[in-house]
Structure 1
Amino acid sequence: MNLLPLLIWFSSLAFLYFGFSCFYSDFIIKEFVRYNLVRFRRTTGYLQLLGAIGLVLGLYLQPIVLFIAAIGLSLLMLAGFIVRLKIKDNFLQSSPSFFFAVLNSIIAFKTYTLYF
């Protein structure tokens, strides 16, 4: 069984949820206030939605799109992890961003080794 499509779909669905949450969730809106990054909330949402769509389109159409989307989401989540550490959140609070940074790095690595 090839695990890569499952990981891609899991990440994509999660980022669709996170992306839309950036626009509509009171909790996420308050979190961006807490991070002191209010002006980046919508941009973050758009990038998450774009990355989610890129993962699925890349899976079925062009591996380069999949690779770029996975790298982009990895970097976005790495930045999120750094922000969480900078504002003194503990590792448990920071772990979702770390998890998704690693997950999308794995997707990018597997895509690279399979197609390039």
Structure 2
Amino acid sequence: MINQILEDLLAAAPGAKATIFLDTDGESIAQAGDTTIDIKLLGAWKEIHLDHIKDISGRLGMGDVDAVLFSLDEGNELIAPVAGEYCLLLFLSAYADLRQAIAALKQAVERLKKEIE
């Protein structure tokens, strides 16, 4: 079911290239999409960034982190916490519609929460 959620996310977000569902250690649980990029390595690295951002946000009293956008020359990356220490990372082309991508990511996060509970 997790693989289907990831495939649905890619289909719902025009311009999405790949997605990966990660555990607390940044290890891949499931992935979908373009396999020419090393999403396992990038996922582990971005999971570390997300942990730091969540810690800083908490210490500053800014509330919970819903998602983080990394905007790069080659495209964008959206990462969102799922439940506990799980997270979902979505790789997008530079021309992807971010509003659609965020909406699709939020829907996938909710489905994953139900799946892992």
- State the TM-score bracket (shorter-chain normalisation): 0.3 to 0.5
Q: Which protein is richer in helix relative to its size?
A: 1
The structure number with the bigger radius of gyration is 1
TM-score (norm 2): 0.35
TM-score (norm 1): 0.35
Q: Which protein is richer in strand relative to its size?
A: 2
